[in-house]
Every structure is written in C-alpha cells, then in structure tokens.
Structure 1
Amino acid sequence: MSQVSNVSAHSKRAVKPSKDHHRINWWATALVAVCSLTIFVPLYFAISVALKTPKQLTQGNGFEWPNPINWHNFVTAWQRTNFPQALMNTAFITVFAVAFTILTSSMVAYALARNMNRPFFKFVYYYLLAAMFIPFPIIMLPMVKETGILHLDNQIGLIILYTLYGLSMNIFLYTTYLKSIPMELEEAARVDGASTWRAFWQVIFPLLMPMNATVGIITCVWAWNDFMMPLVVLTDPSARTLTLAQYVFQGTYNTDYTVAFASYLMAMAPLLIVYVFSQRWVISGVVRGSVK
C-alpha cells in the first residue's frame, strides 16, 4: 500500500502545473502593446476626422473626439463617390484577380518546381524572378499603349494585369513551398493510375492551402487598394474603382478631409468584414495543409 501511495503522490506531483507555465512574458506583452498603438492611433485619428465638421477639424490638435458627431460626412461620401457602383467594380476586379492568380501561379510554379533540373525550366524560373526588380513606372507607358491597342483598357484588362504582374512573387513563394512536399506522394498517385493533371489537383493543390491563403490575401489587398494601375488603364468613368472614386476629394487648392476620411473608412469596411467572416476558412486551410 505504501508503494501505491508513493506512486499516486508522485503522479500528482507530475501532473501539477508548474508556475512557469502561467508566467506572463511582460517584454512580449509590452512589445505587442506598442505595436498595436501603430494601428489604433491612426485608426482613431481617421475615425475622429471622419466624424467632424471642417470647423471642428481646424480647432485643437486634431485628436479630440468630435462633439457633436457629424454623420453627414458618410452620406456625402456615399453620394459623391457613387459608392455602390465603385464597390461593385472593385469587388469584381478583386475576386477574379485572386481566383486567376491562385490558379495560374500554382500551376506554373508546380511545373517549374518539378522540372528544375532541366535548363529550360530553370531559365524560365530565374527569368520570371528577374521581373520583380523592374519598377512599375518603367513599363507603365508601354503597358497603357498596349492595353489600348488590345482594347483591354477595362476591368478585364486590370484582372489580367494583376494576374501577370503578381506572377513573379507568387511563383517564388509557391516554388519554395512545393520543394517541401515529398515527391513520394505524387509517385504513389501515379502508381494508382493518376495522371500528372489529376495528381496536381487531387494531391498537390490541397496541400497548397497555406500558400493559397497567403497569395490570396496579398493579391486581395493589392487589387483592392491599388490606385496607380486603375488610374492609367481604365478609360470608362463608370468602371472606376473605390480608390479612383476617392480621388474626387483631392482639389487643386484644398482637400475635403472630413468627407475624404469618411470615404476611406467606407472603403476599408468591406475588406474587414470579408476577413472577419473568412478567417475561419483561412486558418482551417492553413492547419489542414500543415497536417497533410
């Protein structure tokens, strides 16, 4: 009985949680708090400016909370930017740009990663990587002329450009990730009679979910917030995006900051809502890909 009691006491001591397990890392907590200020302070400033009148904005240092609150800025921004139409245009471009980017970049990266031992594929890989070092202003004018000749100075042309210009960085990310996936998985699929196409879609592509989430987020934020490319490509005023619609607040001699900041918050809200509702699928995709 004494041995049993000793074993029981020893097991209780073994499962007793240590004090170090609940110790708070104050340095990490302080770092997170300081980093969060870089987000919350500008966000508070943007919200406070959007709720002020021009007279309230000129008084004080700009950080005071408005009293009374002016909600009419959002109504004015909604009307002056034709917000529903601009939102639909931006959403259309962003959704299809993300979809085509993930599909094309993953397939091209798979072909390059699995044939990197061949000189031609290695040359294509480094050729595409070299495109990352070319500044956009250098190719901007030829791009504008070419899209005009091909009648791609519209939303379809923007989707194609986002897909092509993101190819270099995305291939670099996909190729690096594909090298960590064992070849034995594809060999087992081919033994079962799967073709290369079927092996990619049924074996490799599900394992790319973490990288698909990364590339999708990068492309989504880029296409949603981009200003320069829609400015030089789109010729139809009815096809303008949110960033172009907000340019109406920039005057030659003055800027309507209160209405402009209200418009910025309205443009930011859909992206935040999409993230809140989609983060569960993004995180589950990352976990599912890492487990596989």
Structure 2
Amino acid sequence: MTTLQAPVRPQEPTSVETRGGRRGRRTRERTNWPLTVALALASLTVLAPLYVTVSMAFKTSAQSVDGNAFSLPSPINFQSFADAWKLTRFPVSFGLSVAVAAITVTLTLLLSSLASYAIVRHWSHRFFRWSFFYLLGAMFLPFPVVALTQIKLTALTGLDNPVGVGILHAMFQLSFSVLLYSAYLRSIPIELEESARIDGASTTQIFRRIILPLLSPMNATVGIFAFLASWNDFMVPSLITANPSLQTLPVVQNIFQSQFGTNYNVAFASYLMAMAPTIVVYLIAQRWVISGITQGAVKS
C-alpha cells in the first residue's frame, strides 16, 4: 500500500538571502559618471563665488587687493561688517528692502492666484484665453523698454517711492506667476467645486475654502520667486525712487564702487549680509518650491 506524499516545493530564499540578493543588485548598478561630473562642475559655479564672497568679507583692505581672491583670510577681520553696517545704513536700507519685498509677494500671490483661477475655469471664453496669451507676451518685454514710461507714471501718481517699486515688481512678476498657477490649477479636479456648488457655496467661498488651501505648494513657489526677484533687483528702485534716503539695499551697496576702485572687503561683507536672508528663506521653503514646480507638470 503506497502513501501519498505532498509535492516538494522549491525552498524560498530566506530574508537574509533576499536582502543579500537585493544588496548585490544594488552594488552592481553602475554610477552615471558623466552626469556626476556634470553636476559637480555645475555646483562649482555656485560654490566658488560663494567661497570668494565669504573669504573676501573676512579680509582686511590690504588682503583684499593682493590679487588672490581664493586665498584664506589671515588674520580673520570682522571690521568689514561694522564698516558695511554704518556705510549702508543697514537697518534702514534692510527694512526698506523687506517692505518692498513684502508688498511684492503679497500683491503677486493675490493677483496671480485670482487671475489664474478665472482664466483656467473660463478657458472656453475668448476674453480669458486671450488674456492668458497677453500676460505670456509680457514675459518677453524687458523693463528697460518701458522704463521711461514707468518713471513718468510713478512720478505723476506719487508712487516714486518704495511702495511704487513694490507695485511694479508685482506687475512684472504677474506673467510668470500666472503661468505657474495656471498649470497647477489644471491638475485640481473641477468635481470638487461642483460638489461645493451643489451644497450652496459661492465662487468666493469655493476659492477661499477649497482652492486656496490646495494652492499652498504653488503659493510657496511663487512667493519665493517674487521675493528673490524683488530683493535682488537694482534697476527698478534705482530709477523709480526719487529720494536717495529711501533706496533699497542693492542700490545702497553701489556706494562701494568709486571712479578709482572698489572697497572690496567692505563691499563683500555687505553682500554677505544681504544674501543671508534669501538663503535662510529658501532653505526653509525649498521643499514647497520643488513640490510646486513638479506637481501639476504631469497631467494625472
């Protein structure tokens, strides 16, 4: 009498063997050396100027003109920061730059989000569709082309001051911001709004309670771009602001350049102090910036 035996199943690899196999596959993956070298070289274009800025800021006047910008400061000098603080009236000019940037970011977020929402949700109407193309066309219009007109208009309306500079910064950021918002809004399902309208919500309530919270990543992205553009701008405030005592930090820093030379160590110290807020703001909001750029780029 024969006994039935269960078929022998092939022995599955243990967890150790599985992990070992995966680890082996990982180790066999080849490094993309051309891409790695290209990224390393690209990073040098940012790290090298940053190193020169930090190094020059801590040098003395004699060390800053020795002809070697990459040499280390010896000894380390902090007097350059004190001189830059006094010469640029740093608290005043810094406060004016913050005020202009705040006006720019606030107006950019408000106007761009509202305009983009109207354009995307009424794309079938010719007026809104051509308004979008009109705003995109403004991206190719540089400020020097309309500089004289803007100077005349701001003088006539009494906006030849930091408030006018902030408004102009927001207007020139409007085209790019609408482009980003429009791409992001198209990825938001319209069914969310339709269900809210069935419940009796108005357009204002839908935008404020549904759309605006969903725009948080893009708000951070647009806000960072608007802040950086306003903070680093030299041409607009230098041409628009009539009162020299109300100039922003980038314009005030021009005092270090004279007819016969530049006070390099003090100039770089002021550049480093002005650059610190932008680095801090970007490091805090970089994950929202990356999320806002990538999300909405691929249609789901």
The answer to which of 108-117 and 197-206 deviates more is 197-206
1:214-225 aligned within 5 A: 214-225=221-232
Distance apart, 1:193 and its partner CA? 1.5
Gap change, CA 1:54 and 1:24, over 3 Å in 2: farther
* Rounded Cα–Cα distance in structure 2 between residues aligned with 1:81 and 1:3: 86
Query: Is 1:164 aligned to residue 167 of structure 2?
Result: no
Which one of 119, 144, 156 corresponds to residue 126 of structure 2? 119
Determine the structure 1 residue equivalent to 2:82: 75
1:20-169 aligned within 5 A: 20-21=25-26, 23=29, 25=31, 27=33, 28-169=35-176
Could you tell me which runs of 5 or more consecutive residues in structure 1 were left unpaired when the two chains were aligned: none
The amino acid that maps onto 1:274 is V
* Rounded Cα–Cα distance in structure 2 between residues aligned with 1:60 and 1:104: 49
8 Å Cα contact 1:213/1:285 also seen in 2:
no
1:207-286 aligned within 5 A: 207-279=214-286, 282=288
Query: Which has more radius of gyration?
Result: 2
The amino acid that maps onto 1:171 is V
Distance apart, 1:284 and its partner CA? 10
Distance apart, 1:204 and its partner CA? 1.4
* Rounded Cα–Cα distance in structure 2 between residues aligned with 1:3 and 1:100: 74
Determine the structure 1 residue equivalent to 2:3: none
8 Å Cα contact 1:209/1:285 also seen in 2:
no
Determine the structure 1 residue equivalent to 2:184: 177
* Rounded Cα–Cα distance in structure 1 between residues aligned with 2:284 and 2:13: 48
* Rounded Cα–Cα distance in structure 1 between residues aligned with 2:243 and 2:215: 37
Deviation string 1:36-90 (CA, Å, 9 cap, x unpaired) is: 2221111111112222223223325321112122211111111000001111111
Distance apart, 1:148 and its partner CA? 0.3
Q: TM-score of the superposition, structure 1-length normalised?
A: 0.89
Identity level (%): 42
Greater fraction helix: 1
The answer to which of 125-134 and 73-82 deviates more is 125-134
8 Å Cα contact 2:221/2:289 also seen in 1:
no
RMSD between superposed Cα atoms in Å: 2.7
The answer to which of 191-200 and 110-119 deviates more is 191-200
Gap change, CA 1:8 and 1:263, over 3 Å in 2: same
The answer to which of 74-83 and 172-181 deviates more is 172-181
